[in-house]
Every structure is written in structure tokens, then in C-alpha cells.
Amino acid sequence: MEKILIATVQHKHGTNFYAAKSLSGLTKQLAKYTRDWWDKECFDIQMPKSEIDQVDTYFINVDSESLELSGHIEIYD
């Protein structure tokens, strides 16, 4: 059995799902998502240096998108 974390991002084009074994791994994926869209969605806000602050700032300021984090989900083979 393994445990993973799942993040769901709802946006105007649909839904993205992200999965990782650790919170830091999940944060890296979410930070990449926010950096990819930053100039379009947060063009008037300076991007924070830390990945967790990038994720927080992005989802606080982009009203048309939402982030939902799961607890650990058990995966069985």
C-alpha cells in the first residue's frame, strides 16, 4: 500500500488533477501550474519567490479558479 496526495484545480477550461507522494512534490506541480498562467491571470501582482507562496497568492487572487487538496489517499496494488 502507498499513500498519495491529490490536488484538484478547477478552471474555466475544465479540471486538472495532480498527485504526489509528498506535500513538497505536490507543491512543485501546483507552483509550475501557477507560473505557467501567472502572466495572464496575475499580471499586476509580483510573483513570490517561494513555491508555496506562489500557489497561495495565485489561488487567492484568481477568482475564476479553485484549488482543493485531499488528505492522503491509500493506493493498493
pTM score, two decimals?
Answer: 0.92
Centre a 10 Å sphere on the Cβ of residue 57 and count the other Cβ atoms it contains: 18
Closest CA to 32 of 15, 16, 43: 16
Using left for φ > 0, alpha for ψ between -120 and 50, and beta otherwise, residue 14 falls in: left
Residue with cell 495532480: 18
Q: Say yes or no to pLDDT of 1 above 90.
A: no
Q: What is the Cα–Cα distance from 72 to 20, expressed in whole angstroms?
A: 10
pLDDT in tens, 33-64: 999 999 999 999 999 999 999 999 999 999 99
Give the mean pLDDT of 15-44.
97
Length of the chain: 77
Confidence (pLDDT) at 11? 97
3-class secondary structure, 41: helix
